[in-house]
Amino acid sequence: MDERIRHDHRLAEAEALERLRALQPAREVSQRITERALSLAREVRSTRPAALSAESFLRHYGLSTPEGVALMCVAEALLRIPDPETADALLREKLSAGQWAKGGGQEAEDSWAASAADWALMLTGTLARWREAEAEPVAQLKRLAARLGEPVVRTAVRQAMRILASQFVIGETIEEAVTRSRAFEAYRFSYDMLGEAARTAEDAARYFDAYSRAIRGTPAGDGVSVKLSALHPRFEEAKRARVFAELAPRVAQLVRLAEQCAVGITIDAEESERLELTLDLFEQLSRGHAIGLAVQAYQKRALAACDWLVGLRRRVSVRLVKGAYWDGEIKRAQQLGMPDYPVFTRKPATDLSYVACARRLLSAPATLYPAFATHNCRTVATIFELAGDRPFEFQKLFGMGDTLYEVLSRTRAFACRIYAPVGSFTDLLPYLVRRLLENGANTSFVHQIADPAVPLEALVADPLEALPEPYSPDPRIPVPRNLYPDRLNSLGVDLARRDVLESFEEKIRSDRGRENLGTVESTTAQELDFSIARAVSAFDSWTRVPPSERAAALERSADALERRMQELASLIVREGGRTYADAVSEVREAADFCRYYALQARKHFANPLALAGPAGERNELSLQGRGVFACIAPWNFPLAIFTGQVAAALAAGNTVIAKPAEQTPRIGFRAVELLHQAGIPADVLSCAVGAGEAVGALLVADPRIAGVAFTGSDETARRINAALAARPGPIATLVAETGGVNAMVVDASALPEQVVDDVVVSAFQSAGQRCSAQRILFVDEGCAARVMRLLGGALAELKVGDAAEPDTDVGPIIDAPARAALLRHVEKLRAGARLIGEARAPASGNYLAPVAFEMPIEALPRIEVFGPVLHVCTYRRDSLGRVLQWIRETGYGLTLGVHSRIQSFVDAVVTQARVGNVYVNRSMIGAVVGVQPFGGEGLSGTGPKAGGPHYLFRFATERTLTVNTAAVGGVTELLTRPLN
């Protein structure tokens, strides 16, 4: 793959756009295009959509209406829900939100059944109308459904969903698809096998069979689109070696089969982080074989990718699409703190990119055969203009853009292929929702052509005219660095890039060769005594340093941490046994803590708060440091939590003795060094290392310590609490963040694939050695079998091993005693619980293979099992109360996950939970500073939450100042007030 493709990946948007401008049609050509597009659009709009089409559908249920949104929710979930109760709960909730039957009367609003009936019949009725049926049978059906009640309604809605589905999916099997496609004589086809990406080897094998069958069943001349992520459970850059060893031969086999059958194969485009890998695979597969590739114009590197394809000089067909994962790309780049987005933030910029790419693809007719996937009149007109008599084809989605192509076919000849999804209805619905989102977005042509309020002139205008001059990205989507209005976001590292992974690996290997991480000498009692004394005497001056200066030093510290990303990540991997991804998020979190507390200090500590009171008096409240804080951190976030505690204490004006865990002293040392270099005086912050029972205990027993910020186990927290209580002198402040017995509750409306993705991350990332990690999965028995099967398969795909290797998913357990305790626990489970699945761990080394067991609720552990062991318990829908009670009775309250599509279920769990951090429909780890302030209640900690707006207050003492301003003679402000 070409270096330019990599370079352009996250190019500044304005720069990426400049290149595209040069490739746009000249003004007079653009005018011609506009005219053509306009006459096309006029005809499209004035033509009544045939049968049910996406256009007419969106006209009725736009994304911006509650009905449209409810419809998406129902469509996405309904057909997979196994039990009627859950299905009814979903329908009841979603269907009561909209005004389904316009003029349906009061009764429609009174009963969900009636409104569901309306809704179902609106759909079927609309279909019926679209199919030019009489309205009367609809009214009859409606009356009937209202009389018969819920089961009939449920069936009607399911039926409506199926009818809807059949408009967008050509068939459940390839045979059905091929038969149905015969009705579209003028078109060629490319069949797409629907489904989620593979999570397990079993999924991948099933998809492989589906593709093989599809290729065999496809008529010569038609094609099959292949999603690589469906053919391998780990189609990721970090797994490059496996992908080439396992996936490449599989695809090659399909390519050969397709050649035998004279069927075209096109590799579909997926998320941008898979592009490098896709292109490299494509390069290999296209040697000697004519295969196709999809290119997404919304990526900034689309043009570079097209240039690369031209340069390959191989017979290749290229499908140019605008791109379907735009919203996901934006979200992901923000979450990962990427320097910029892989995609354009403005839709017209994507349109320009599309034109530029089209021009490139048309420039090599001897080798490239371009296919332009579009439902947009202007794009169609542009392609005709650019192509002249060079060969190309259009592509459209099945069930979409029908009117456009029908209108077009009246005036001229062209080749068009239908991209036609094939698959079962349950697989289809998430696909459908994706397409509706894509085409129902306000910026989408399909959406706008259906909306008579949008003037056609605007709709077909040259996209250049819609762009600001000079170009700037959409201000509502700032680069991830500027995500927060008042502070910088930490910078991430793109671990989906091969060169980045390689340079990390090299750094870690060379550091390992250079430095032996033997034991670090403990701080002696005298040294500790000296440090405390120094911190006591430094306190007076540090607490008087203006908060803005303290904040500035912390902001410089954040910059320094980020600058040393690779060095620190290497140390975290080597000393803490964390994987690359974990290490990078450690450094980011540490930097975020520094910037966040700096901001809070500026906000709350810089100026006293003026308080209202009687005339002649000034009252104010100010915040001051308390004295010397002991910051005691655990090994499992050796940089982030360590730095966070220290930054908070310093920001609030305290001096600090920081004690890293005995397992990770070097990381603590290095962090303190960096803070010193950034301007925190040496006497204000010092590091004490050594065993908790020795150095830690001495530290907290010292009466000169005004407060303790502790994160670790609840046993230790209790010990520290007792030690503080036993000291003479002032009562110290204790902020303690401790462990949890964290559960996730999943109902039958949840999507099992999503659940398992999130469970694998929550329970096994960092070898389960996160306080937030999931220990327990409560899963509704309706979907339990599928979830457990997927979970077992996903566990088998995890690589356990040396964290220094870039493809490791799960690193070691922190030390031998911890591992021994976990092993004992697992042995007990093996004897008494049912094994769901496990990963394989290397025979030597301090590893523990991630594992999941099923057991009844009575057998679940009520203590924290700090490792990659998941306890799964199924429950019946009507016993949710017992599950929630069990969670409460553990006494812990740190994190909780919920997976459901039913808001009332989510609400029931959330309102009954006594838990610090609740996550819905996502993983339950990875809290972000200032976004998900973190910390538990009950046995899980005292609060306030780290990375939250109230944290610094706990490190401060409050003082008021009252001045009698009338003392000198009178209440001047009363006497000098303006007349009237």
| Active site (catalytic) residues | 737, 771
| Of 52-60, 291-299, 305-313, 626-634: span binding ligand NAD (CB under 6 A) | 626-634
- Give the closest residue to 188 by CA, choosing from 392, 451, 19, 14: 392
Q: Does 742 bind ligand NAD (CB under 6 A)?
A: no
Distances (CA, A) of 213 to 99, 166, 423: 44, 21, 12
Least separation in angstroms between CB 877 and ligand NAD? 31
Q: Does 941 bind ligand NAD (CB under 6 A)?
A: yes
Nearer to ligand NAD, 462 or 737 (CB): 737
Nearer to ligand NAD, 349 or 658 (CB): 658
| Of 492-500, 754-762, 933-941, 971-979: span binding ligand NAD (CB under 6 A) | 933-941
Q: What are phi and psi of 191, to 5 degrees?
A: -90, 140
Nearer to ligand NAD, 126 or 738 (CB): 738
| Of 289-297, 299-307, 669-677, 732-740: span binding ligand NAD (CB under 6 A) | 732-740
- Residues contacting 742, CB < 8 A, separation 6+: 762, 772, 773, 774, 775, 776, 892, 894, 895, 896, 897, 924
Among 78, 141, 318, 632, binds ligand NAD (CB under 6 A): 632
Least separation in angstroms between CB 930 and ligand NAD? 15
Q: Taking the mean position of all CA atoms in its chain, how far away is CA 87?
A: 27
Q: Does 948 bind ligand NAD (CB under 6 A)?
A: no
Q: Does 662 bind ligand NAD (CB under 6 A)?
A: yes
Q: Does 174 bind ligand NAD (CB under 6 A)?
A: no
Q: Does 737 bind ligand NAD (CB under 6 A)?
A: yes
Contact by Cβ (8 Å): 479, 340: yes
- Give the closest residue to 34 by CA, choosing from 423, 472, 457: 457
Nearer to ligand NAD, 544 or 824 (CB): 824
Nearer to ligand NAD, 119 or 866 (CB): 866
Nearer to ligand NAD, 195 or 935 (CB): 935
Least separation in angstroms between CB 642 and ligand NAD? 9
Ramachandran region, residue 99 (left: φ > 0; alpha: ψ -120 to 50; beta: rest): beta
Q: How far apart are CA 619 and CA 629, in angstroms?
A: 29
Q: Does 653 bind ligand NAD (CB under 6 A)?
A: no
Q: Does 712 bind ligand NAD (CB under 6 A)?
A: yes
Q: Does 696 bind ligand NAD (CB under 6 A)?
A: yes
Q: Does 399 bind ligand NAD (CB under 6 A)?
A: no
Q: Does 636 bind ligand NAD (CB under 6 A)?
A: yes
Q: How far apart are CA 861 and CA 825, in angstroms?
A: 10
Q: What are phi and psi of 744, to 5 degrees?
A: -120, 135
Among 711, 733, 890, 923, binds ligand NAD (CB under 6 A): 711
Least separation in angstroms between CB 916 and ligand NAD? 8
Tokens of 804: 């220094």
Q: CA geometry: angle at 193 spanning 188 and 199, to 5°?
A: 155
Nearer to ligand NAD, 400 or 633 (CB): 633
Taking residue 821's Cβ as centre, other Cβ atoms within 10 Å add up to 14
Nearer to ligand NAD, 425 or 919 (CB): 919
Q: Exposed, middle or buried: residue 544 (CB in 10 Å: 0-12, 13-18, 19+)?
A: exposed
Q: For residue 71, which amino acid is it?
A: L
Q: Does 47 bind ligand NAD (CB under 6 A)?
A: no
Among 719, 775, 789, 901, binds ligand NAD (CB under 6 A): 719
Q: Does 697 bind ligand NAD (CB under 6 A)?
A: yes
SS (H, E, C) 565-618: HHHHHHHHHHHHCCCHHHHHHHHHHHHHHHHHHHHHHHHHCCCCEEECCCCCEE
Nearer to ligand NAD, 737 or 757 (CB): 737
Residue in the shown chain whose Cβ atom is closest to ligand NAD: 692
Q: Does 951 bind ligand NAD (CB under 6 A)?
A: no
| Of 398-406, 414-422, 711-719, 959-967: span binding ligand NAD (CB under 6 A) | 711-719
Q: Taking the mean position of all CA atoms in its chain, how far away is CA 634?
A: 27
Least separation in angstroms between CB 768 and ligand NAD? 10
Among 96, 111, 624, 713, binds ligand NAD (CB under 6 A): 713
Q: Does 813 bind ligand NAD (CB under 6 A)?
A: no
Nearer to ligand NAD, 427 or 702 (CB): 702
- Residues contacting 369, CB < 8 A, separation 6+: 315, 316, 317, 318, 391, 392, 393
Ramachandran region, residue 616 (left: φ > 0; alpha: ψ -120 to 50; beta: rest): left
Least separation in angstroms between CB 894 and ligand NAD? 6
Collapse the DSSP code of 92 into the 3-class scheme (helix H, G, I; strand E, B; otherwise coil) and give the result: helix
Looking only at the bridges linking them, the beta strands covering 892-893 and 937-938 are antiparallel
| Of 231-239, 406-414, 522-530, 655-663: span binding ligand NAD (CB under 6 A) | 655-663
Q: Does 933 bind ligand NAD (CB under 6 A)?
A: no
Contact by Cβ (8 Å): 528, 522: no
Nearer to ligand NAD, 500 or 915 (CB): 915
Q: Does 837 bind ligand NAD (CB under 6 A)?
A: no
- Total of residues contacting ligand NAD (CB under 6 A): 32
Q: How far apart are CA 195 and CA 963, in angstroms?
A: 72
Among 661, 667, 687, 826, binds ligand NAD (CB under 6 A): 661
Among 98, 739, 868, 930, binds ligand NAD (CB under 6 A): 739
| Of 113-121, 199-207, 208-216, 731-739: span binding ligand NAD (CB under 6 A) | 731-739
Tokens 């110290």 belong to which residue? 732
Distances (CA, A) of 633 to 687, 692, 709, 735, 829: 11, 10, 8, 12, 31
What is the 3-state composition of the chain as percent helix, strand, coil, each rounded to the nearest 5? Answer: 50, 15, 35
Nearer to ligand NAD, 585 or 716 (CB): 716
Least separation in angstroms between CB 771 and ligand NAD? 3
Least separation in angstroms between CB 738 and ligand NAD? 5
Q: According to CB under 6 A, which residues from 763 to 792 bind ligand NAD?
A: 771
| Of 197-205, 548-556, 636-644, 781-789: span binding ligand NAD (CB under 6 A) | 636-644
Q: According to CB under 6 A, which residues from 892 to 911 bind ligand NAD?
A: 894
DSSP 693: I
- Give the closest residue to 663 by CA, choosing from 571, 594, 771, 561: 571
Q: Does 811 bind ligand NAD (CB under 6 A)?
A: no
- Residues contacting 722, CB < 8 A, separation 6+: none
Q: According to CB under 6 A, which residues from 336 to 355 bind ligand NAD?
A: none
Q: Does 700 bind ligand NAD (CB under 6 A)?
A: yes
- Give the closest residue to 160 by CA, choosing from 260, 256, 79: 79
Cα of first residue to Cα of last residue in the chain, in angstroms, is 78
Q: According to CB under 6 A, which residues from 664 to 693 bind ligand NAD?
A: 692-693
Tokens of 296: 């997404």
Looking only at the bridges linking them, the beta strands covering 223-226 and 617-625 are unpaired
Tokens of 803: 């964290």
Nearer to ligand NAD, 440 or 948 (CB): 948
Where helices occur in 657-709 by DSSP H, the ranges are: 665-677, 697-701
Q: According to CB under 6 A, which residues from 857 to 876 bind ligand NAD?
A: 864, 866
Contact residues for ligand NAD (CB under 6 A)?
A: 632-637, 641, 659, 661-662, 692-693, 696-697, 700, 711-713, 716, 719-720, 737-739, 771, 864, 866, 894, 934-936, 941
